[in-house]
Amino acid sequence: MARAWHLKSRPSGMPTLDNFELKDVELPPLGEGCLRVRNRWLSVDPYMRGRMNDVKSYVPPFQVGEPMDGGAIGEVIESRAEGFAPGDLVQHMAGWRDEAVVAARTAQKLPGLGAPPEQFLGVLGVTGITAYFGLLDAATAKAGDVVFVSAAAGAVGSVVVQVAKAKGMTVVGSVGGPDKCGFVRSLGADHVIDYKTGPILKSLAAAAPDGIDVYFDNVGGDHLDAALALARNNARFAICGMIEGYNTGQPTSLRFIMRVIAARIRLKGFIVFDYFPRLPEFYAEMGPWVADGTVKSRETVVDGLDNTADAFLGLFEGANTGKMLVRL
């Protein structure tokens, strides 16, 4: 017997606890090539909001009445797969639950980088991969660029700030609230904007009077519009997320979209999965940065499987600084 979070109903607008249900599930017998895993850490991420809608996208939607899934780190407690033994720590996609039977081919043993296991859901995992390739590949950011990052205290944003600084860029981060301002400043950002204190366009114009070369978008909406307004010639935008729009269903109203022409702006959407073939490149650069403290990991940890849905909902209220994780 395991316990797993199920999608009880689809939200319209902001999800609530009523959309989720924690229920017992029977685990299948351990087939050949499979692992029984006890989860230690669960990942909750903004992109999961999209999976709560019945819409085909780059990941399939959650199904009503069925268990949910997502990134997790677990310990192998029984193995019928070559190369895996009890005690191994693995990363896999059977999150939102305490125990799972998974096919070994869908699980990866954690690389021996000497980092704490939970970092493979954060700075050394999908979060870090998103930040690294979004900034350096999708936005082709380079030394000397002025980089604007929204949700700069968030899981992805906080890594973007640090990678940009490590690569010799000037960084303007936007966050909500004074605590997050301090945090992002401590990561080395050159300017930090609290978007709650005034119109983002005005704040960004003050922080980057000569404009921006790169925008790493986690937010959409007014942040995207301000970035369009202040983009320098040949600016590049990496569009990673638009959390502002995930729950509202409202159209995005852009006053400055026409500037893409005069300023020759490039916007590029990207999905982290597309970069998985380039993981060795990522580990080679990020591994040492994390080990020597150039890139610091920051997590907001919620304890207990029972609180997983709460942790997820907190993402939309700015409850997290850095990566939001659930520890079992």
CB of 177 to a copy of itself, least distance (A): 25
β-bridge partners, 146: 170
Decide whether 102 or 224 has the Cβ nearer to a copy of itself: 224
d(CA 61, CA 221): 24
Whose CA is closest to 117, among 311, 299, 294? Answer: 299
- CB neighbours (10 Å) of residue 153? 28
Residue 57 interacts with a copy of itself (CB under 8 A): yes or no: yes
Q: Which CB, 114 or 251, lies closer to a copy of itself? A: 251
Contact present, 23 and 3 (Cβ < 8 Å):
yes
By the rule CB under 8 A, 323 interacts with a copy of itself: no
User: Residues 273 to 302: which contact a copy of itself by CB under 8 A?
Assistant: 274
Distant-in-sequence, close-in-space partners of 315: CB < 8 Å, separation ≥ 6: 44, 45, 46, 243, 324
Smallest separation (angstroms) from a copy of itself to the CB of 138? 9
Give the shortest CB-137-to-a copy of itself separation in angstroms: 12
270/283 with CB nearer a copy of itself: 270
| Ramachandran category for residue 241: left, alpha or beta (phi over 0 → left; psi -120 to 50 → alpha) | beta
How many residues can be counted in the chain?
A: 328
- 216-275: which residues touch a copy of itself (CB under 8 A)? 220, 224, 239-242, 245, 251-255, 257-271, 274
The size of the interface with a copy of itself (CB under 8 A), counted in residues, is 31
Nearer to a copy of itself, 240 or 305 (CB): 240
Structure tokens, 231:
């983009």
Residues lying near a copy of itself in the complex (CB under 8 A): 50, 57-58, 220, 224, 239-242, 245, 251-255, 257-271, 274
